[in-house]
Amino acid sequence: MPTTLFRNGTVVTAERSFAADILVEGETIRDIAPTLPVEAAGRVIDASGMLLMPGGIDAHTHLDMPFGGTTSSDDFETGTRAAAFGGTTTLIDFAIQAKGTRMRDALDTWWKKADGRATIDYGLHMIVTDLGEAGLDDMDSMVADGVASFKLFMAYPGVLMVDDATIFQAMSRTAKNGALICLHAENGGVIDVIVRKALAEGKTTPIHHALTRPVTAEAEAVHRAIAMAEMAGAPVYIVHLSSEEALNQVREARDRGLPAFAETCPQYLLLSVEELARPGFEGAKYVFTPPLREKRHPPKLWEGLKQDHLQVVSTDHCPFCFEDQKSLGRDDFTKIPNGGPGIENRLQLLYHHGVNEGRLGLNRFVELVSTTPAKLFGLYPRKGALAVGSDADIVMWDPKADHVISSRTHHMRVDYSMFEGFAVKGNARLVMSRGDVLVENGLYHGRPGRGRFLKRAARGGAWN
- Alpha-carbon distance of 352 to 398, in angstroms, equals 12
Length of the chain measured in residues: 464
Measured from the CB of residue 60, what is the shortest distance to Zn ion in angstroms?
6
The one segment of 49-57, 114-122, 221-229, 316-324 that binds Zn ion by CB under 5 A: 316-324
The one segment of 263-271, 290-298, 309-317, 392-400 that binds Zn ion by CB under 5 A: 309-317
Measured from the CB of residue 105, what is the shortest distance to Zn ion in angstroms?
21
Nearer to Zn ion by Cβ, of 96 and 430: the residue is 96
The one segment of 85-93, 174-182, 312-320, 350-358 that binds Zn ion by CB under 5 A: 312-320
Q: Roughly how many angstroms between the first and final C-alpha of the chain, as a whole number?
A: 37
Q: Could you say which residues in the range 63-82 bind Zn ion, by CB under 5 A?
A: none
Measured from the CB of residue 288, what is the shortest distance to Zn ion in angstroms?
8
The two counts, helices (H) then strands (E), for the chain are: 13, 19
- Alpha-carbon distance of 435 to 433, in angstroms, equals 5
Residue nearest Zn ion, Cβ-based: 316
Nearer to Zn ion by Cβ, of 127 and 396: the residue is 127
Measured from the CB of residue 316, what is the shortest distance to Zn ion in angstroms?
4
Nearer to Zn ion by Cβ, of 6 and 153: the residue is 153
Measured from the CB of residue 301, what is the shortest distance to Zn ion in angstroms?
17
Measured from the CB of residue 12, what is the shortest distance to Zn ion in angstroms?
28
Instruction: Kindly give the pairing relationship between strand 312-313 and strand 260-264.
Output: parallel
Cβ(9)–Cβ(396) below 8 Å: yes
Measured from the CB of residue 176, what is the shortest distance to Zn ion in angstroms?
26
Maximum Cα–Cα distance for the chain, whole Å? 74
The one segment of 38-46, 126-134, 313-321, 372-380 that binds Zn ion by CB under 5 A: 313-321
For residue 369, the one-letter residue type is: V
Cβ(420)–Cβ(406) below 8 Å: yes
Cβ(171)–Cβ(133) below 8 Å: no
Measured from the CB of residue 318, what is the shortest distance to Zn ion in angstroms?
6
Measured from the CB of residue 459, what is the shortest distance to Zn ion in angstroms?
22
Nearer to Zn ion by Cβ, of 316 and 436: the residue is 316
- Of 220, 250, 126, 249, give the one whose Cα is nearest residue 182: 126
The one segment of 197-205, 295-303, 315-323, 431-439 that binds Zn ion by CB under 5 A: 315-323
Give me the 219-248 binding string for Zn ion, x by CB under 5 A, dash otherwise: ------------------------------
Instruction: Kindly give the pairing relationship between strand 3-12 and strand 17-25.
Output: antiparallel
Nearer to Zn ion by Cβ, of 241 and 392: the residue is 241
Nearer to Zn ion by Cβ, of 138 and 316: the residue is 316
The one segment of 275-283, 311-319, 396-404, 422-430 that binds Zn ion by CB under 5 A: 311-319
Bridge partner residues of 122 (DSSP): 91, 453
Q: Is 439 helix (H, G, I), strand (E, B) or coil?
A: strand
Nearer to Zn ion by Cβ, of 205 and 264: the residue is 264
Measured from the CB of residue 66, what is the shortest distance to Zn ion in angstroms?
13
Q: What are the strands, taking DSSP E only, across 13-146?
A: 17-25, 28-33, 43-46, 51-54, 56-61, 66-67, 70-71, 88-96, 121-127
Contact residue for Zn ion among 74, 138, 316, 393 (CB under 5 A): 316
Nearer to Zn ion by Cβ, of 183 and 355: the residue is 183
Buried b (16+ CB within 10 A) or exposed e, 62-91: bbbbebbeebbbbbbbbbbbbbbbbbbbbb
Nearer to Zn ion by Cβ, of 81 and 240: the residue is 240
For residue 18, the one-letter residue type is: F
- Of 237, 262, 234, give the one whose Cα is nearest residue 248: 262
Q: Please count the residues of this chain forming the interface with Zn ion, following the rule CB under 5 A.
A: 1
The dihedrals phi and psi of 56, each to the nearest 5 degrees, come to -65, 145
Binding site for Zn ion (CB under 5 A): 316
